[in-house]
Amino acid sequence: MKPEEQHLHFTELYDRLEHRLKRFCELSAWDGRGPDLLQEVWINIWNALPRFRGDCSLDTWATRVAVNSALMFRRSEGRRSRHTAADMDMEKLVDKQTAEKTLLIDTELRERLYACVSELQPRDRMIVGLHLEAMTHRDISEVVGVSENHVGVLLHRLKPVLKKCITGEENDS
């Protein structure tokens, strides 16, 4: 890939995915480190662009890079901090992230949705996060590398959990 081509693809991706990836990174990174992860994601996208083979759409490919960067992000987090997932006080974390979001989220539903998604396991958060971005089961299956049916199964399992958290009611589905 020529440098001009790389720059062009990167600019297009940035225009299209800027907000999606920012939301994804804020959701996936621990302890308000979303901006650090976001920066790493864009750097990785830039560096990996010459290796894009075109076996999926550019958006799907960039989302794969974001998901895989988020999966590996804990390595650098571990180097900088002694905290592990188990050590984290989840309640404080959600409170902090929610507080950081207060300026951005102005409706109760969004607030509850964000808090409830944040309470999920990181791996489940990623799947739900992608689906909330209106990515189809097929898109998610291409990103994660499992079948469409399996994505459906995962989401089917997670949606009632989310609903229960958001509405505060017992699951009826």
Partner 1 sequence: MTHEEYRDWQNAWQENDTGKTPTGMDAIMSRMKAHDQRSKRINLAKASTVFMLLSLMAFQVARQKAPLKTSMLIGLILVTINTVIFMTTLFGKQFRLKRLDLGQPSLIFIRQAIAALPAEMQHITRHLPLFLIFQALAANIMFIDLWPKLAPVTLVLIHVGTTLFLFLGARLGLMVRRRIYNRSTVPLMEDLRQTEKAWSRGEE
What is the nearest approach in angstroms of partner 1 to the Cβ of residue 46? 5
What is the nearest approach in angstroms of partner 1 to the Cβ of residue 92? 19
Tokens 């990996």, located at residue: 48
Report the first-to-last Cα separation within the chain, whole angstroms.
49
Among residues 92 and 121, whose Cβ is nearest to partner 1?
A: 121
In this structure, what token pair is assigned to residue 72?
Answer: 């590996």
Distance, in Å, from the CA atom of 49 to the CA atom of 89, rounded to the nearest integer, reads: 37
What is the nearest approach in angstroms of partner 1 to the Cβ of residue 5? 16
Residues that bind partner 1 (CB under 8 A): 11, 14, 18-19, 22-23, 26, 35, 38-39, 42-44, 46, 48, 51-53, 61, 64-65, 67-69, 71-72, 74-79, 82, 84-85, 101, 103-105, 107, 109-110, 113-114, 121-124, 131-134, 142-147, 150, 153-154, 159-160, 162-163, 166, 173
Distance, in Å, from the CA atom of 76 to the CA atom of 89, rounded to the nearest integer, reads: 20
Cα three-residue angle 48-15-74, rounded to 5 degrees: 45
